[in-house]
Amino acid sequence: MPGTMKAALDDGTGRYELHEVDMPAMFEGAALIKVRQTGICGSDLHMTDAREEAQTLPSGHEVAGEVVEVPSGETDLQVGDRVALETIGAGRSCMRCHYCKYGQYRHCMDLAPDTGGGFAEYMTRTPNGLFKLPDSLDWVDGALVEPMAVSVHALRYAGMKPGDVIGVTGSATIGLSAIGAAHAFGAKKVIASAKYPHQAEAAKKMGADVVTTTGGGAFEDACREASGGVGADIVLESVGGHQAVALHQAIRATRPQGKMVNLGGIKVPMEIDLFDPLLREIAIISVSCYDVIDGVHDYEVAIDLLASGNMPYREIVTHKVPLDDIQDGFATAYDKNSGSIKVHITQ
C-alpha cells in the first residue's frame, strides 16, 4: 500500500510534531496494521529525555490495531482482525535462529528492520507478533496487553508459585501490572510502594494488600511483617529510570534465598554492595520484555488476565488524546501532579 501517513516525531528537543511520512516498509512476511491506540510508556519519556537528534521513525510500543493487509502464504490472520502488537521481538523475529526456535524472540539474532512504532497511523509487523483480541476487550485493553505482559513475563521467568509473598517497588504502569499479575497468580500477600496518592489508590484496586510510602524503610518493613519477619519471596523493582534507590530497597526487602527481579530498567550507573545479597543467597534476576515460557507466550497470558473481568487494569488509563495532540499527551504523562498514570494516544 504505497503512499503517506501521519506520524509523530520528536524534533530532538523533546517536542513531538506531526509529519507526513512514507508508509512503513512492507518487509518480507509483514502484515499492515492500522494503529488504533498506543500507550505512552515510561521508557518513551526516558528516551525522549535522552534523545539529541530528530527522529526519523516514530516510536511507541504499547499498541493495539486492526489488520488491513496480510502477507501471502499460510496465516491465521484476516483483514479486520483486532490485535495487540508485540513490536519488539516476535513481530520482527526471523523464526530461524537459535533463540527463535525456543520462542525467545526478544533475543532474535536476525531481527527484521524496525519500520516504526505506534505513534503513527500504520505499522508493519509479522503475524508472529500479532495477538488477536477477544470481543470482550476494546482498544484500551488492547494497548494495555504489552505492559501487562512485561510483568507476566517477570513473574513467570522468576518462577513465582501460588502462596508466595510478592513485593513491588513502585505503582506506576508496570508496578500496577505486577501487582495485578501477582494477585491473579495466587500470591499470599502483595506489598507495594507508591510515590503519589493516586498511584497508591490504584495499587489497592489492583490487589495490593499493603501499600507503603517510598522512603524511610516502610516498604522493607512491610515485606518482613507480611512474611513472618523473613522478607518477600520475590520482589520486583518496577521504577527504573534515573534512580537506583528502588533497587536497593528491593534487595533489602527480599528474604534470604529469595529473588529480586530487576524489571524497571535503571538508566544510570550505580554502586551496589553485593556482599549482603551474597551472604543471604539472593538471586538477582534481570528480565526484559516477553517471550514463550512452557509453550505459551506472555502476551497470551496477559490477554487472558485482562479478559477475565477480574482485573481493573484499564482504570489506569487516566488520559486519552488524539494523535494530532500527542505533545499534550506527553506533557500530561510527564506531569504526575496531573493525576496521570497511563496516557493513551487514540486514532
d(CA 166, CA 158): 11
**For residue 336, what pLDDT band results from cuts at 50, 70 and 90?**
confident
Is the per-residue pLDDT at 343 higher than 70?
yes
pLDDT at 97 over 70: yes
Beta strands in 99-164 (DSSP E): 122-125, 130-132
pLDDT per residue as tens digits for the range 99-146:
999 999 999 999 999 999 999 999 999 999 999 999 999 999 999 999
CA distance 24 to 117: 9
Cβ atoms of residues 111 and 88 within 8 Å: no
Question: Are 106 and 71 spatial neighbours (Cβ–Cβ below 8 Å)?
Answer: no
Could you give the 3-state DSSP secondary structure of residue 39? strand
DSSP letter, residue 233: E
Residue 94's Cβ-count burial label (10 Å; 0-12, 13-18, 19+) is middle
Q: Which residues contact 232 (CB under 8 A, 6 or more apart)?
A: 164, 165, 166, 167, 191, 223, 226, 253, 254, 255, 258
Exposed / middle / buried, residue 168 (Cβ in 10 Å: 0-12, 13-18, 19+):
buried
Instruction: List the helix and strand counts (H, then E) for the chain.
Output: 11, 17
> Average of pLDDT values for 195-224?
97
Tens of pLDDT, residue by residue over 144-171, are: 999 999 999 999 999 999 999 999 999 9
d(CA 89, CA 131): 13
Question: What is the spatial distance between Cα 43 and Cα 346, in angstroms, rounded to a whole number?
Answer: 19
Task: Go through the domains of the chain in sequence order and give each one's CATH number.
Answer: 4-143+312-346 (3.90.180.10), 150-286 (3.40.50.720)
| pLDDT value for 75 | 77
The mean pLDDT of 311-318, rounded to a whole number, is 96
pLDDT band, very low/low/confident/very high, at 1 (cuts 50, 70, 90): low
Q: Residue 30: is its pLDDT beyond 80? A: yes
Give just the sign of the alpha carbon dihedral 337, 342, 345, 347.
Answer: negative
Cβ–Cβ under 8 Å, residues 150 and 263: yes
Return the beta strands (E) in the chain as ranges.
4-10, 16-22, 31-39, 62-69, 82-85, 122-125, 130-132, 165-169, 189-193, 210-212, 232-237, 254-262, 283-286, 292-293, 296-297, 317-322, 342-346
Full-model pTM: 0.96
Q: Residues 258-306: pLDDT tens digits?
A: 999 999 988 888 888 899 999 999 999 999 999 999 999 999 999 999 9
Q: How confident is the model at residue 27 (pLDDT cuts 50, 70, 90)?
A: very high
CA-to-CA dists, residue 336 to 197, 203, 319, 345, angstroms:
10, 16, 12, 17
Contacts of 133 (CB under 8 A, 6+ apart): 64, 82, 83, 84, 141, 142, 145, 303
Q: What is the pLDDT of residue 276?
A: 95
Q: What is the DSSP string of 265-312?
A: -B-S------HHHHHTT-EEEE--S--EETTEEHHHHHHHHHHTS---
Segment 54-82 mean pLDDT: 95
Radius of gyration of the chain (CA): 20
Contact between residue 245 and residue 219 where contact means Cβ atoms under 8 Å apart? no
- pLDDT averaged over every residue in the chain: 96
Q: Which three cell numbers stand for residue 15?
A: 517536542
pLDDT of residue 73: 84
